[in-house]
Chain A
Amino acid sequence: MTEAGSQLSESTGRRTNTGAGRVLVAIYGIFALAATARASVQLITRYEEAPLAYLLSAVAGLIYIVATITLARGTRTSRRVALVAIIIELVGVVTVGTLSIVDPAAFPRATVWSVYGIGYGFVPLLLPILGLAWLWRTRPSAP
């Protein structure tokens, strides 16, 4: 239990950046790096091949960056931002995952979220679920 540096009265809830939350931040960080790097390479070298898929990769990268930073900060405001980012992430991976199976023509090139993140061991599908579960577990209790 680390309460050090907690300027907010969060004794009722736990900060998102301690304990198991640090592992979550580490995994988010790796995906932030992977998705952003992948999108950068795709957008710079062959944007015209599949603009939609590549822009989605970039959006995914951005969401991972936001989730990583906000979960790592663990303040009251940052957990709200993290919640929004992770919900968008979940909607994104489910939508893109489903579309990439139903209409593969729309996604001629793979993104992190294609087929629910099959290229990354389905971790992209698991990650937002873990993220939401963690935010729920560390929620501040009602006053």
Chain B
Amino acid sequence: MIDALAYGVIALAGIAVIWGVVTAIANKPPGKAQLLYAAGLEAVTVVQSIIAVAKIVGGFRPVELATTIGYLIGIMILLPIAWFWANVERNRFSGIILAVAAFAVLAMTLRLIMLWTPAG
């Protein structure tokens, strides 16, 4: 984990949450820019997980090793599944689905920051 990157993910995910809610309120399906943004958020999330796993492979041992690895993997699959699910039926609820997934990414990143303390 790199703190700056983690907080970046949190900020980007927060924007994705708001964006999803805004299009839902406007009663519109997510537009192209919004979908691209979600893809960008996913890319940054994947980069974060890769860096964190590399640090673990490189010898860093967080207190809850198994949980941390579970979070690092789990956090990467949320947005792709939400993207697919949001596009099967495109309407206002698609934006909410993207918002829910982005919120989960945000919450999981916060938890990862807490988990990222060296063991012993």
Which residues of A does B touch, CB under 8 Å? 2, 18-20, 22-23, 25-27, 29-30, 33-34, 37-38, 40-41, 44-45
Contact = CB atoms under 8 A, between A and B. Distances in A.
B66 A44 contact: yes
Size band of the interface chain B makes with A: 20 to 34
Label chain B's interface by main secondary structure.
helix
30 contacts: A2-B89, A18-B89, A19-B91, A19-B93, A20-B93, A22-B85, A22-B86, A22-B88, A22-B89, A22-B94, A22-B97, A23-B93, A23-B97, A25-B85, A26-B85, A26-B96, A26-B97, A26-B100, A30-B78, A30-B100, A30-B101, A30-B104, A33-B74, A33-B77, A37-B70, A38-B70, A40-B70, A41-B66, A41-B67, A45-B66
A27 B100 contact: yes
The 7 closest A-B pairs by CB, nearest first: A41-B66, A26-B97, A23-B96, A37-B70, A26-B100, A45-B66, A30-B104
A67 B14 CA distance: 28
B104 to A, nearest CB: 5
B81 interface: yes
Label chain A's interface by main secondary structure.
helix
B52 interface: no
Given A19-B93, A23-B93, A29 B81 contact: yes
Interface in B83-109: 85-86, 88-89, 91, 93-94, 96-97, 100-101, 104
Contacts of A38: 67, 70
B77 to A, nearest CB: 8
Interface of B: 66-67, 70, 74, 77-78, 81-82, 85-86, 88-89, 91, 93-94, 96-97, 100-101, 104
